[in-house]
Amino acid sequence: MSEEGRQATEEHRRRQLAIRAAVLRDVTGVWRTEFDIEDVASSQLRVVEALKDVLADGKLRAAEEAADYYSQFRAIDGPGARRARPMGDLDGRRVDRSVGYTARIVPLKALKAGRTRQQAARAGLEQTMGASGRLVSDGSRETVIRAAEEDPAQPRWQRITGPEPCEFCAMLSARGGVYRAQATAVFEAHSGRGAACQCEAEPVYGERFLSEQQQRFKELYDREAKGTSDPLKAFRAAYRREIKPAA
């Protein structure tokens, strides 16, 4: 693993964050125009329809950037550049499902729980942004993971986190380049509450040394969580104590 490769991945992660941020600005715009807390049932349908275009476009951009990155990274750390297929198709039913929940059930539940209209609308928007961000970022992760699966050089891939990941992402990233087949399901990016997941997948050709941050997470995992009955719970407690307090 070269320093140049690591840098390419970090630039890729930042470009993905920029793509996602631009999409989320559009999501907020759609929400402001279409969502009406006085009429959640029909306004959420307009939100879903408008978001399908915004998110399809965003996911495609994310996938195309990721395909370029894959080829570039392979030239640096693998056997040479190789075109990757952008996995940019957005399944409209996923938007129906996830935004149907965040723009309808979430605000209605909040109203029922006695929140003000403003708070209920806010909760709907926040969760809609979380779900949207995830749908867009999937374009990048799916592209890299699928390209690794189809790559004759048979790289594995590992999870690269942002600077302050949640404990779930930190724990998975500490495992290094262990992932191989059927890996898209393994990624398990989470949207929902707290800071949005900023993780990306990075191909691993041959020997890969853990980054300083990954070593730190691994050391914590081995010391506090390995072999316990509930490793995530043990790791989470240790992570909050030693690395990052709960948000």
Residues near Zn ion (CB under 5 A) are 169, 197, 199
Q: Which amino acid is at 101?
A: Y
Nearer to Zn ion, 72 or 191 (CB): 191
Nearer to Zn ion, 148 or 196 (CB): 196
Nearer to Zn ion, 30 or 170 (CB): 170
Q: Which residue has the tokens 């109203």?
A: 111
Closest CA to 135 of 79, 97, 173: 97
Q: In whole angstroms, how close is the CB of 190 to Zn ion at the nearest point?
A: 7
DSSP 209: P
Q: In whole angstroms, how close is the CB of 122 to Zn ion at the nearest point?
A: 24
Q: What is the DSSP string of 216-246?
A: HHHHHHHHHTTTSSSHHHHHHHHHHHHT---
Nearer to Zn ion, 35 or 168 (CB): 168
SS3 per residue for 25-66: HHHHHHHHHHCCHHHHHHHHHHHHHHHHHHHHHHHHHHHHHH
Q: In whole angstroms, how close is the CB of 132 to Zn ion at the nearest point?
A: 16
Nearer to Zn ion, 99 or 199 (CB): 199
Task: Give the distance between the most distant pair of CA atoms in the chain.
Answer: 59
Q: In whole angstroms, how close is the CB of 166 to Zn ion at the nearest point?
A: 6
Q: Which residue has the tokens 């729980």?
A: 113
What is d(CA 29, CA 194) in angstroms, rounded to the nearest whole number?
A: 22
Nearer to Zn ion, 14 or 117 (CB): 14
Q: In whole angstroms, how close is the CB of 84 to Zn ion at the nearest point?
A: 22
Q: Which amino acid is at 238?
A: A
Q: In whole angstroms, how close is the CB of 200 to Zn ion at the nearest point?
A: 9
Radius of gyration over every alpha carbon of the chain, rounded to an integer in angstroms: 19
What is d(CA 15, CA 2) in angstroms, rounded to the nearest whole number?
A: 20
